Structure 1
Amino acid sequence: MPANELVHVDGKRKAEFVKQLHKIERRTEQYVRAANKGWKRVVFEPGDWVWIHLRKKRFPEERKSKLQSRGDGPFQVLERINDNVYKIHLPSEYGVSASFNVTDLSPFDIGHDSRTNHLEKGRDDTSSSKKLDVESIELPSGPITRAHVKKFQDAVASYIA
């Protein structure tokens, strides 16, 4: 076989190989899109407030019964280690590491940016015509449920508005 034909056959084989690689790459991209469908990227910043998911393995005392809450919070993010790991301001009574994976965290929505203070500077809070109902704003001891948080948010919103 002449050298010219050998180069031609090698070229065809290389072209087929590259086509197969492209097919595999396209198929992999389709699998990635299908696997990530419905997922959204969540990034917390220091100062944000979050709920933590109480997994049985990590929090056996808080998850003894099916009727106990599966989450607790709100807790403040102290440090962003990377996009997947965050250090949370967690009370020492839990006795676990304060580092959490993003899958164990969910945002605590208080209706506005949690890192900013919406009170006006230079304004005297005591001169407000509205009186603060301390009982409605007081947080209960123990795990805080979403219903408690909603009640707290409503009380704060009515005071600020």
Structure 2
Amino acid sequence: MAHFVPCSKTLDASNVADLYFREIVKLYGVPKTITSDRDTNFTGHFWRTLWKKLGTHLQFSSSHHPQTDGQTEVVNRSLGNLLRSLVGNNPRQWDLTLAQAEFAYNRSTSQTTGKSPFEVVYGQNPSSPLDLAPLPATNNFSGDAVDRADHIKKLHEQVRLKIVKQNEKYKKQANKFRKPAVYKEGDLVWIHQRKERFPRGRPGKLSPRADGPFKVLQRIGENAYKIELPGNYGVSAMFNVSDLSRYIDENNKDSRTSPFQPGENDAEKSEF
């Protein structure tokens, strides 16, 4: 289930915390975990200290690796599509349509689960304006609370099995083109200079698409590494494994140059 809350880009961590308590904690209580990107509001001392005192574990996505929290990325795209269809000729009034967008999203059927978020959480969909017409009532719950609880438990188990099945399907498809790559601390690697990661420092079209070699400092999770970068780079030192390639010394008989050759088209570079 998603909740959409308008806010300003100028809000600091304390303002974001106020919003979270006012809109989310009042409904569900203090969470056990929070998954977010590495925005300065979420990596700062105030935010970390607040949730540590409340016993909430903070989980941060890898830099420039949206797959870490793919569900949020999908929700963001869906929200964008909903708002474009709702605001019409009044794009500046997008915040006034968030309530309708939230209701529409939570009532729509998920392709993965076959159920809407409302059904998964509450066991049934709320009435919409179209449902207010005088139609025969169907699929009502039994008045017995035990029957309703059993129904929701079975529903959650069905949804869980569908999610597992779909995840296995997505994993199998993604692994077709994925090559395992594991680096140790001290290894030398090339870094791929994606234009979204290096918007200003990206070299020209005919320049190499990689830079380095740089030393691996630390492995973060399964797919991210901390790299020792020069101070003039001005970007996060965290890189996804898909942006790294092993460096081989030129004196080695099996040596090769950077895999990202001059003039390479980013769109043609396969992900792994």
TM-score by length of 1: 0.49
Higher relative contact order by CA 8 Å / sep ≥ 6: 1 or 2? 1
Q: Which structure features the higher share of helix residues?
A: 2
Which structure has the greater CA radius of gyration? 1
